[in-house]
């Protein structure tokens, strides 16, 4: 019986006797090899280099009596309408006089944005991969790359991740040209500079380093460039890949570079002497160098009036503090340093805890982990299921667990407080690390109380003191100079007295006003 089924399966698998032969062909040109004057050989070489890939289009054009043209491009990367309209018609009918090929291309009013002359195979391959169309001719060892690039891209919309109340709403999209234009539109200065590199040995992703030449510290720019050039990795899908690859300390828990999707934030940071890293196919710009306080600030602070910005920053700091410390302090005070609480508060705490079967630290860990699971579940869930999660989470965790006597209601309040606090921190990177740090604090304060909490806080502060982001210390506002820098970094000054950039980015030009 079993054998029968096996035979049937095997028969089903072996339907048809055709085998498939792989057609992988090695690159058939030497490094730096030039084009030859034989059109047939050139075409063969290019075709072999691409392994005879099916989306490589090689279109032969019988160009009247004199010339034989060939047009090479990749399907889908070019505006085919324009190619049909201009190239094919233009060259097949118009040019029958025996002027030189170069003159036809250069002097004709061919409607195309840019034409490059190329003679190396490697250049031709790179141009084809970038979406340019290559025009070659019988008997000439020069080819022409024509810019008829056309990608489909998303239109500019607002960011899902970074919401703001006031100020510009547009966010970056997945096209680096558009993103750079969005920045250029905001900073109309000749000192705004873009340096482009190609990173990723297989993806060959365009990467742009953007900075303001007369503000930024050029040593940092050179450091960034040399680190980018030294990347030996074949896959760059997003600019965050770059951030992971060039980080000062890849294994630290703190985020050392700030990703953002908002061009206004990027341009404001550029004017503060920072550098932005953009990558093609990525709606995220990486801001560097970054210090700790950068992750707690939002661009909204500068659009709001001074007082409301001040207040909302203070609230955000309190939120961040609660997110990390509310549960550990509760544990330290109720499990270890009980005598620190007022008697009127200590009695209800212990009364409620009396029915709970677990030790406090276990109870807290269960609650925190449940919360993290709920949050993770809610993050990428399709919209219609969202309410279901909140009902299940709210009812099961909030209500039933307390009624069943598994969790004490005080702890529920405290954990909810820490969750709400964490929502005030807008930087996703920082929130993630704060959530992980919280577990360390919970355990240490469960074992050693306030002393354990203090020791682990010191450990983390020492660790963050040892971090640098492109040579700028991570805690620079607090660990470098006097209290003035710390104050400037924590609170926003009103514009009428805010004449100086923050010094801790090691910038060249410190003043914002013309002298």
| 400 lies in the binding site for other proteins (CB under 8 A) | no
513 binds other proteins (CB under 8 A): no
**Chain centre distance of CA 126:** 25
Nearest-approach distance from CB 468 to other proteins, in angstroms: 9
448 binds other proteins (CB under 8 A): yes
Is residue 446 part of the contact set for other proteins (CB under 8 A)? no
Q: From CA 269, how far away is CA 276, in angstroms rounded?
A: 8
Closest to other proteins by CB, 372 or 485: 485
455 binds other proteins (CB under 8 A): yes
The label of the residue with tokens 């909810």 reads: 416
Q: Residue 18 or 344: which CB sits closer to other proteins?
A: 344
Based on the shown chain and the rule CB under 8 A, indicate whether residue 480 belongs to the binding site for other proteins: yes
Question: Helix (H, G, I), strand (E, B), or coil: what is residue 125?
Answer: helix
Q: Supply 36's token pair.
A: 């030859």
Binding of other proteins by 350 (CB under 8 A): no
How far apart (Å, rounded) are the C-alpha atoms in residues 399 and 403?
A: 6
Q: How far is the CB of 461 from other proteins (least distance, A)?
A: 6
Residues in the chain: 515
Residue 342 within binding range of other proteins, rule CB under 8 A: yes
Q: Which of 281, 451, 506, 509 binds other proteins (CB under 8 A)?
A: 451
Q: Are 447 and 335 in contact (CB under 8 A)?
A: no
Contact flag: residue 417 with other proteins (CB under 8 A):
no
């006003």: which residue's tokens? 513
Span from 73-81, 190-198, 338-346, 499-507 in contact with other proteins (CB under 8 A) = 338-346
Give the helix ranges, DSSP H, for 272-342: 300-303, 306-331
Evaluate whether 320 touches 426 at the Cβ level (below 8 Å): no
Determine the interface stretch with other proteins among 35-43, 254-262, 263-271, 471-479 (rule: CB under 8 A): 471-479
Cβ of residue 152: shortest distance to other proteins, in angstroms?
Answer: 49
DSSP string of 58-78, one letter each residue: EEEEEETTTEEEEEEEETTSB
User: Exposed (0-12), middle (13-18) or buried (19+): which is 79, by Cβ within 10 Å?
Assistant: middle
Among 168, 450, 506, 508, binds other proteins (CB under 8 A): 450
CA-to-CA distance for 154 and 124, rounded, in angstroms? 28
Whichever of 272 and 468 has its CB closer to other proteins, that residue is: 468
Residue 479 found at the interface with other proteins (CB under 8 A): yes
Q: Find the binder of other proteins among 89, 163, 466, 500 (CB under 8 A).
A: 466
User: Smallest distance from the beta carbon of 444 to other proteins, in angstroms?
Assistant: 9
Residue partners of 420: CB distance under 8 A and separation at least 6 = 319, 322
Instruction: Give dist(CA 478, CA 489) in Å, integer.
Output: 9
> Is 462 a binder of other proteins (CB under 8 A)?
yes
- Give the nearer residue to other proteins in terms of CB position, either 77 or 475: 475
Please identify which residue in the block is written with the tokens 């899908």: 237
Q: According to the binding rule CB under 8 A, does residue 341 interact with other proteins?
A: yes
Quick one: which segment of 17-25, 407-415, 459-467, 504-512 binds other proteins (CB under 8 A)?
459-467
Angle 428-466/409-424 helices, nearest 10 degrees?
90
| 336 scored as a contact of other proteins (CB under 8 A) | yes
**Which residue's entry shows tokens 């805010």?**
498
Binding status of residue 459 toward other proteins by CB under 8 A: yes
Backbone angles phi, psi at 156, to 5 degrees: -75, 120
Residue 223: CB minimum distance to other proteins, A: 16
Identified binder of other proteins from the candidate list 362, 465, 499, 512, rule CB under 8 A: 465
- Side by side, the strands of the sheet bearing 67-74 are 56-63, 67-74, 133-137, 143-146, 115-118
349 contributes a contact to other proteins by CB under 8 A: no
> Is residue 454 at the binding interface for other proteins, with CB under 8 A as the rule?
yes
421 makes contact with other proteins (CB under 8 A): no
Among 111, 234, 458, 471, binds other proteins (CB under 8 A): 458
Q: Does 473 bind other proteins (CB under 8 A)?
A: yes
Between CA 302 and CA 309, with CA 305 as vertex, the angle to 5 degrees is 65
Strand partners, 137: 69
Contacts to other proteins by CB under 8 A? 336-337, 339-343, 345, 448-452, 454-455, 458-459, 461-463, 465-466, 473, 475, 478-483
């Amino acid at each position: 019986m079993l054998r029968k089924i096996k035979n049937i399966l095997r028969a089903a698998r072996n339907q048809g006797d055709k085998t498939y032969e792989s057609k992988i062909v090695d690159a058939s040109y030497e490094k730096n090899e030039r084009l030859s004057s034989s059109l047939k050989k050139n075409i063969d070489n290019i075709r072999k280099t691409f392994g005879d890939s099916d989306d490589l289009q090689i279109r032969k054009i019988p160009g009247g009596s004199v010339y034989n043209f060939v047009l090479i491009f990749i399907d889908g990367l070019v505006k085919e309408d324009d190619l049909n309209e201009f190239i094919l018609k233009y060259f097949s009918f118009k040019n029958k006089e025996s002027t030189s090929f170069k003159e036809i291309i250069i002097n004709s009013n061919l409607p195309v944005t840019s034409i490059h002359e190329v003679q190396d195979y490697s250049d031709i391959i790179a141009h084809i991969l970038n979406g340019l169309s290559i025009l070659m001719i019988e008997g000439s060892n020069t080819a022409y790359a024509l810019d008829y690039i056309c990608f489909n891209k998303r239109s500019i919309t607002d960011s899902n991740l970074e919401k703001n109340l006031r100020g510009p709403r547009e966010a970056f999209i997945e096209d680096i040209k558009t993103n750079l234009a969005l920045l250029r539109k905001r900073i109309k200065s000749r000192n705004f500079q873009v340096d482009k590199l190609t990173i990723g040995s297989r993806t060959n992703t365009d990467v742009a380093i953007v900075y303001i030449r007369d503000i930024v510290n050029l040593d940092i720019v050179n450091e960034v460039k040399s680190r980018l050039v030294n990347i030996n990795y074949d896959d760059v899908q997003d600019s965050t890949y770059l951030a992971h690859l060039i980080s000062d300390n890849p294994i630290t828990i703190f985020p050392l570079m700030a990703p953002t999707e908002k061009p206004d934030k990027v341009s404001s940071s550029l004017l503060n002497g920072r550098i932005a890293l953009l990558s093609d196919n990525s709606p995220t710009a990486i801001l560097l160098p970054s210090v700790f306080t950068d992750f707690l600030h939002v661009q909204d602070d500068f659009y709001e009036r001074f007082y409301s910005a001040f207040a909302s920053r203070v609230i955000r700091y309190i939120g961040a503090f609660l997110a990390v410390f509310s549960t550990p302090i509760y544990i330290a005070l109720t499990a270890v340093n009980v005598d620190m609480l007022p008697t009127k508060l200590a009695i209800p705490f212990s009364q409620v805890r009396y029915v709970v079967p677990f030790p406090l630290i276990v109870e807290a860990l269960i609650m925190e982990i449940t919360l993290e699971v709920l949050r993770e579940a809610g993050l990428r869930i399709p919209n219609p299921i969202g309410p279901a999660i909140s009902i299940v989470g709210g009812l099961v965790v909030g209500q039933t667990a307390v009624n069943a006597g598994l969790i004490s209601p005080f702890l529920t309040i405290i954990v909810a407080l820490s969750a709400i606090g964490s929502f005030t921190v807008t930087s996703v990177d920082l929130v993630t690390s704060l959530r992980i740090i919280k577990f360390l604090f919970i355990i240490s304060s469960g074992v050693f109380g306030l002393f354990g909490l203090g020791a682990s806080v010191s450990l983390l502060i020492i660790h963050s003191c040892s971090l640098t982001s492109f040579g700028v210390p991570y805690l620079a506002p607090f660990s470098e100079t006097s209290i003035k820098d710390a104050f400037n970094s924590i609170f926003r000054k009103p514009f009428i007295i805010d004449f100086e950039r923050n010094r801790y980015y090691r910038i060249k030009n410190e003043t914002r006003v013309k002298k």
